[in-house]
Structure 1
Amino acid sequence: MKTNFLTILLCCFILMSCKKDNTPTTANSTIALPSTMLKASTSASSTLSLKVLQLNVWQEGTKVSGGFNGIIDAIVQSGADLITLSEVRNYNNTNFSARVLAALSAKNLTFYSFKDNNVGIISRYPIVSFKTGIYGNAFDKAVINLDLNTQVAIYSAHLDYLNYACYLPRGYDGNSFQKMSQPVTDVNAILASNLQSSRDEEIAAFVNDAKLERDSGRIVILGGDFNEPSHLDWVNEQKNLFDHRGTIVPWQNSVTLYARGFKDSYRVRNSNPVTAPGFTWAAFNTSASLSSLVWAPDADERDRIDYIYYADNSNRVNVSESIVFGPSGSIVRGQGYEDPTYTNPFLIPTGTWPSDHKGLITTFSITSIKPTISLNKTNYANGETITVNFANGSTNAKAWVGIYQSNKVPGTNYANSWKYTNGMSSGSVALSLPANSPAGSYYVAYFKDDGYTEIATRVSFNYTGG
């Protein structure tokens, strides 16, 4: 048994070492390509569709009879690939995400998730990595591969519900939710109250975490219940509607996200805040008691506080569609209200609606750009530098390019020469073949993240030798 074990161990070591001949060439000869050189490189691309659902599950559906099944029905009806959930509680030491996956599996649907509190993520794609407890469980995130070349970091958010400052101009306190003697219409006072919440600190934590993902080349998507309106809604056109009482309010957190390059998918697709206000709060859910839906009984409570934001440093993302999902009615002055004036694109649920919020479904169109490699020439003599240009590649520090003889197989045979690309998605590396390399046909290959998965089409060249 010991002999067999040592033999297996030795074989594994040899296979793991096949990339390297001896020691790697130094990293400092990897350079970024000038923009003029990058433009000359053409890349094949394809278009991917990604559908995202944001859903506040209202204490895991416990506020509505049949609410948990309603959550499952909503996920299925939405056709979403990624689902961001708010108000995850894991009641009675259960694992809510595991329950959701089991219920979807019973419908022959395979999804992936992980356990967290307050927020959750359900993914049709296998989850490469995840992170919980971002700023005290205000956020979590998962990384998925859409394809070999495109990664998405999806975040789920449920922000602080206190200091709900949009109730102030409606005449209600944002903490006690009691009626005040008069509305607050001083915009500075409204914004000061809004900053008393922890929402701005939560968004700052998200922005910092998401920057790392964006800088690594990933698309970032954020879905959540923000408990705060948008500066894109409380504008001049809405100032005398929905009990805004003449106020135009630049709500801080949507302003911050836009300043950091994020876009509000609903407003990108539905730009008119009057004809398409996109209300997600409060839903007139006829499966729930009316008293459980009303917080400001003498006010028009309608607002858009659930969002799907996105950002991508490579501009690969477009919004194909963004629609509200849930009951068509809202809560106005303590009653359910249907308003035919507003023409939101809408999806009505076919099953029991589980929430006091409406959901949001955004369908993204994502351009997947294939990495490319090219050479500065096609014939090389002994001692010549072989410059390999690469573009639209992996930002992992251990992506690499290697040269092989045409009859050699990466992972089985050693590379004749190789270098890491050092975290740059586009650039060049200078390689050279050892002096004793035989003349003949060779190729350059581009590999993903210290492995042998090739991410670009090979480029061949001829070597005349010494």
Structure 2
Amino acid sequence: MNNKLYVPLLLSALLVGCNDSNDNNNTSAPEITPPESYTTTLNIVSANMWQNLYRDFNDTSSFEVAVKELQHANADIIFFQEATGITARMAERLGMHYYHGNNSVGSVGILSKHPIKNTIDAHNEYGGNIGAVLDVNGRDVIVFSNHLDYTRYITYDARGGNGITWQAHAGCLPITSQEDLDALNLQSYRPRQASYMLEQLSPYLENNAVIIFGGDLNEASGLDWTEDTANMYDRKGTVHDFMTHRRILDAGYTDSYRHLYPDPATNMGATWPFHIDDSWTQGASYVNECGRGLDDRDRIDFIYYNANAEDIELVDASLIGPRIKTYFPGPHGEDDTYQWDEKHSGMHVNEHGEPTYEERDFVSDHLWYKATFTLSTPGYDSEQESVINHAQFKDITIAEGENDGINISFNLTNTDLWDDALNYQIEVSGDNDLTAWLSHTLNQRPNEQDLISIDVPETVLATLDGSTKNNSLQIRYVAGNQRKHLAVFTILKEDIPRLTK
């Protein structure tokens, strides 16, 4: 047969309420004067996706669990890290706008329920950071997502380990001086990555704009490594003002968590690692040199903001996931003496605010961090069209193919970020699988008018039909060895001829 089946596009529409007034009632409705401004709530989540959520725990899809967590958080803006293969897929599932930098940039992404007015060029050295200007109900909000360099992780050097090799120093001797730790930190890219972001934000800060940024900064804060905590978490008596955060704080930004919870001794706020198996200080070298594995829990996931912006208020902050002590007990029973007052949220947090996550119910090796703001906006809706700085599938057609297979044809648009140095593929997979079931190489940049056609054999459809993990077939435009998913399109089982006979 040669009949073609078309995948319908879903169009959002405004629902107009019915007029339920009584025709016999001649009383005129009172005139309502609209307010000069509205109060908009912004739930912002920083979420490390732990290498694209490639681990599935407890016989469940990590991608599906992450979707449900972000829906539960009612996230308006999301800062992603380690999300090379996640950002476009997650944006499609959550129905959000997204930006994830040029095709060579890995890891970071920005998702937003509010339109993206324009984007800020990415910086990509051992991680990266990208920015965007959002239209939040008529008011500009400038955001940045960061995944800073993980090398020269000097919180290990301060504990008696090595931030490059991840092994213990001989004799487990820590580096404790401010000057020596600063010198080591300058060997990483973190300070210059932070400075790049601050330079990009400087014109907005001068205008006192609403600025909110965060992510996995891979560095602890001097607001946490204080005199009161110097002998906690194997910090060996060290008090240190970490350089990256020092630069951010000196530039005038406010640490949202420490603003609400100023005491690091009672509100540690640690985000990594929360499971002892994910710690890099539990290996043989630490047992040999230190006598035991070390406690390397720290707060390395942050959301900063410009507290001087007009009519913005930080109203809440919480850690998404289990308690930091549940699956990482401190050495020598120290967790029993520490105070743990952190507020938690998430799918498995009970009515008393207590996390009830079973082991590996949470899909990342980082806890996620959520901060809630209110700000005054001119309206209660955004009229701005969102810019699209990423590729898109257009005019997708599904036709029956040979031997019970199907043929999928489409156009690719917005491919101007094509980089000849990268390898590009069209991949077919299940919606919850990170690996490709079928791959087609693109040897040259496609024009918007070029029709691309993919034959999907019956064996691939049979894999989908028999899968309990995947509900749909997904077409992906993929770039580079990092396998960054530049665009995705999901086809439900019921839209596939072979599966609906």
TM-score, with structure 1 as normaliser = 0.62
**Structure 2 CA distance for aligned equivalents of residues 312 and 208 of structure 1:** 18
In structure 2, the residue matched to 1:395 is none
Q: What is the correspondence of 1:27-66 to structure 2 with a 5 Å cutoff?
A: 44-65=36-57, 66=61
Q: Is the 8 A contact 1:239 1:247 kept in 2?
A: yes
User: How large is the RMSD of aligned CA atoms in angstroms?
Assistant: 2.4
Letter in 2 for 1:67: S
Q: 1:369 Cα deviation (Å)?
A: 6.7
Q: What is the correspondence of 1:242-253 to structure 2 with a 5 Å cutoff?
A: 242-253=233-244
Is 1:175 the counterpart of 2:175? The answer is no
**Structure 2 CA distance for aligned equivalents of residues 156 and 240 of structure 1:** 32
Q: What is the correspondence of 1:185-204 to structure 2 with a 5 Å cutoff?
A: 185-204=176-195
Moved more, 122-131 or 179-188: 179-188
- Secondary structure, aligned partner of 1:118: coil
- Secondary structure, aligned partner of 1:200: helix
Q: 1:273 Cα deviation (Å)?
A: 0.8
In structure 1, the residue matched to 2:13 is none
Is 1:121 the counterpart of 2:79? The answer is no
Moved more, 306-315 or 160-169: 306-315
In structure 2, the residue matched to 1:227 is 218
Q: What is the correspondence of 1:82-231 to structure 2 with a 5 Å cutoff?
A: 82-90=77-85, 96-104=86-94, 110-116=95-101, 117-136=106-125, 138-148=128-138, 150-181=139-170, 182-215=173-206, 218-231=209-222
Is 1:363 the counterpart of 2:372? The answer is yes
- Secondary structure, aligned partner of 2:176: coil
Letter in 2 for 1:147: N
Is 1:283 the counterpart of 2:292? The answer is no
**Structure 2 CA distance for aligned equivalents of residues 337 and 78 of structure 1:** 31
5+ residue gaps in structure 1? 1-42, 91-95, 105-109, 285-289, 371-466
Q: Is the 8 A contact 1:84 1:121 kept in 2?
A: yes
Letter in 2 for 1:354: V
Pick from 63, 72, 82: which aligns with 2:67?
A: 72
Moved more, 185-194 or 204-213: 185-194
Pick from 246, 253, 260: which aligns with 2:251?
A: 260
**Structure 2 CA distance for aligned equivalents of residues 313 and 187 of structure 1:** 30
- Secondary structure, aligned partner of 1:322: strand
- Secondary structure, aligned partner of 2:149: coil
Q: 1:365 Cα deviation (Å)?
A: 1.8
In structure 2, the CA distance between the partners of 1:280 and 1:337, relative to structure 1 (3 Å rule), is: farther
- Secondary structure, aligned partner of 1:88: coil
Q: 1:208 Cα deviation (Å)?
A: 0.4
Is 1:238 the counterpart of 2:229? The answer is yes
Q: 1:214 Cα deviation (Å)?
A: 2.8
**Structure 1 CA distance for aligned equivalents of residues 97 and 222 of structure 2:** 34
Q: 1:75 Cα deviation (Å)?
A: 0.8
In structure 2, the residue matched to 1:311 is 306
Q: Is the 8 A contact 1:214 1:313 kept in 2?
A: no
Q: Is the 8 A contact 1:221 1:311 kept in 2?
A: yes
**Structure 1 CA distance for aligned equivalents of residues 89 and 136 of structure 2:** 25
TM-score, with structure 2 as normaliser = 0.58
Q: 1:312 Cα deviation (Å)?
A: 5.5
In structure 2, the CA distance between the partners of 1:225 and 1:337, relative to structure 1 (3 Å rule), is: farther
Aligned length in residues: 311
**Structure 2 CA distance for aligned equivalents of residues 321 and 76 of structure 1:** 18
Q: 1:102 Cα deviation (Å)?
A: 2.6
Q: What is the correspondence of 1:344-355 to structure 2 with a 5 Å cutoff?
A: 344-350=342-348, 352-355=361-364
Letter in 2 for 1:213: Y
- Secondary structure, aligned partner of 2:363: coil
Q: 1:357 Cα deviation (Å)?
A: 0.5
Q: 1:175 Cα deviation (Å)?
A: 0.7
